[in-house]
Amino acid sequence: MKQRPIFAAAAAVVLTSSILAGCSGGKTEQQAANAGSSGNTDTKQEAPKSNKPVKLDVIETGSGLPAPDQDQIKQEIDKAIGTELNLTVYASGDDYKNQLNVRMASGNFPDLFAVDRAQLKQFAEQGLLLDLTPYKDKLKTTVDFIGADSLKKGTQNGKLYAIAKSPQIPYNTFWIRKDWLDKLGMKPPTTPDELLEVAKAFTEKDPDGNGKKDTYGITGGKLGAFSPVFGAYGTGSPGNFYVKDGKLVNALYDPAMKDALAFIKKMIDAGAVDPELLSNNSTQQYQQKGIKGQAGIMWIDWPNVTKDEFVAQIKAVNPNADWIQLPALKGPGGQFEGSWDIGATPGMYAIPKVLEKNPEKLNKVIELLNFVSTKDTGSALVQFGIKGKHYNLENGKVMPTDLMGKEVGYSWLYQFTGRPEMEYLFVKFAKQAPYIEFANKQPRIQALNGFVDNPTGYNSADAQRFMDEELAKFVYGKRPLTEYDAFLKTLETSMNYKAYLDAATKQLNDLGFGK
C-alpha cells in the first residue's frame, strides 16, 4: 500500500537455497534441456478440444485465501473460462522462494508463478522460462492492460519472460500540522528554506502550547524523510537512475546531490529534525511520533494519516490536530516531491518453458491472464467480486455492498496482471479520494531502478550499507562533504559499484532510456 523506499540502487534478492545452488550442473540443466528440446514454438498451434476443465496450478505469496469451496473468485473464474484453478499462496516470502526453488529444481513446474527480478534473471538464464515474445498477439488484452513500460519490466536480453502487473501510484507526500502553523502565525512552506524556518519554529516555539520544549519539526524514516528536499534540488534519492537533460544519470553523481546533502545537514545542525530519524526502522515508529504530537512534519503515505483508525488516534491525543498535505517544494533544481520508481512492480508472473509442449494448458494460462485483464468481466471480478452481490453499478460507478469486505477481501490474490489503481482505490477508499489524488498528482523524478538487474559479483546489500553509513556521516557532520568524491571512489572500487553502474547503464540504454 505504501511507496517502496527507493534509496536502494536495485534491490537484490539472493537465492540461498542449496538446492537451487546445485542446479547449474545437475538436474535443472537437464530439465532446461528437456523443456527446450521440443522446439515447439508454433504459437498458432491449436489445443485439442476438450469439454473437461483444464487444471491450472498457480503459486505466489499472500494470505487470506479461503478453502476452494468458499472461494467465490476461483469459482467464478473456473466457470467463465473452463478451468480447475488450484491457487496456492505462501504467507512468508522466504517459504515461497524455497518452495519455488524446489519445484523448479525438480521439474515440478507450476503453470503460472510469481517471480522477483533475481528469480526472473536466474530462471531465464537457466532456460526454464517460456519466452512470451512470440505470444504477444495472443496476450494482446493483457499487454494493453498493463501497458508498454510494464512489458519492459519482464524483459531479459530482449525477450519477454514475465508479465508485470500494471503500475501502482505514489502515496507519499509531506504532511504538516496546520493547527501548529496557525498557532505560530506561519504559512505552509513552499521552498526548502521555508521548510527549515517552519521546522525550527516547531522545535523552538512550543507549537503544542504545553510550556515544554518537547517537539520537533521533521520526523521520518532515515534519509527518505527528505525525499522532497532531494527533489527540490533536482536530484533523485541516492542511488536512483533517471534521465536528466536527455542523459542517464545516477543520483550519487548528480552535482545537485552534494547541495541537497549540505542543506539536509543545515536542517540537522539547526536541531529541527527528530534525533532518532536514522534509527526509525518502520513507518509505525515515526507515524506514532506524529500522532502523539512529538513532531509536526513527516513524509508519509496517506493511509497512515487518513484511515479511520489513525484519524481516531490523532483526535484522541488532540481533537484540534489538523494534518494537511504539502505540495512539492520549489527549489534550485525545480519542483519534485521526490523520486518514483517507474520500473518497480507489485508483482511479476512467469510461465515455465515446458508448457509449450502442452498447448491446451498454455492456451488456458494465456486465457486466464487475458480474462483478469478484461475491464468489465475478469478485472472487475478480481477487484470487487461478483456484480450484483459484492457491488452494483450506478451510472457506471462501482458501488460496494456490505458483502464486498466480508466475503472477497482476498480477491487481490487473483489480480495476476494488477488493477487500474486509481479506480480501485477510489472504490475501496472513497473517503480518502482527495488525498489519493493529491499524492498522485505531485510531480516526481522518474527513477528507473526497477528495470535494473544486479551484475554477477555485485553485492547490493553491502554497497547499500556502505552508502547509507557514509551519507549519514555527511549529513551529521561526521565526515566533511569535501570527501564526497573519495566516498564515490571507494564505493566504485571496494564495493564494485562501477560494475553495477556499467551494467545498469547498458541495460537501461537497451530499453531505450537515456539514448
Kindly provide the residue ranges of all beta strands, DSSP E only, lying in 179-326, ordered along the sequence: 216-219, 241-244, 247-250, 295-301, 323-325
State the Cα–Cα distance between residues 287 and 279, nearest whole angstrom: 14
Per-residue pLDDT at 46: 53
Helix, coil or strand: residue 86: strand
Per-residue pLDDT at 49: 60
Per-residue pLDDT at 457: 87
Beta strands 339-341 and 445-447, pairing class: parallel
Report which secondary-structure segment, H or E, holds 445. Answer: strand 445-447
Report which secondary-structure segment, H or E, holds 506. Answer: helix 497-510
Kindly provide the residue ranges of all beta strands, DSSP E only, lying in 240-321, ordered along the sequence: 241-244, 247-250, 295-301
Per-residue pLDDT tens digits for 432-475: 999 999 999 999 999 999 999 999 889 999 999 999 999 999 99
Helix, coil or strand: residue 301: strand
State the Cα–Cα distance between residues 147 and 99, nearest whole angstrom: 30
Per-residue pLDDT at 288: 97
Per-residue pLDDT at 48: 55
Spatial CA neighbour of 119 closest among 111, 110, 129: 129
CA 475 to chain centre: 27
Count of other CB atoms within 10 angstroms of residue 367: 20
Helices (H), 334-432: 359-371, 380-384, 402-407, 421-428
State the Cα–Cα distance between residues 424 and 150, nearest whole angstrom: 19
Please answer whether residues 379 and 488 qualify as being in contact, where contact means their C-beta atoms are separated by less than 8 angstroms: no
Name the CA radius of gyration of the chain, rounded: 25
- At residue 419, what is the residue type? R
Per-residue pLDDT at 51: 77
Which grid cell is 348? 511479476
Which grid cell is 408? 472477497
User: For helices 497-510 and 460-475, what crossing angle results, to 10°?
Assistant: 110
- What values do phi and psi take at 78, rounded to 5? -55, -40
Please answer whether residues 413 and 96 qualify as being in contact, where contact means their C-beta atoms are separated by less than 8 angstroms: no
Per-residue pLDDT tens digits for 178-235: 999 999 999 999 999 999 999 999 999 999 999 999 999 999 999 999 999 999 999 9
The conformation of residue 22, written as its DSSP 8-state character, comes to T
Residues of the chain below pLDDT 50: 1-44
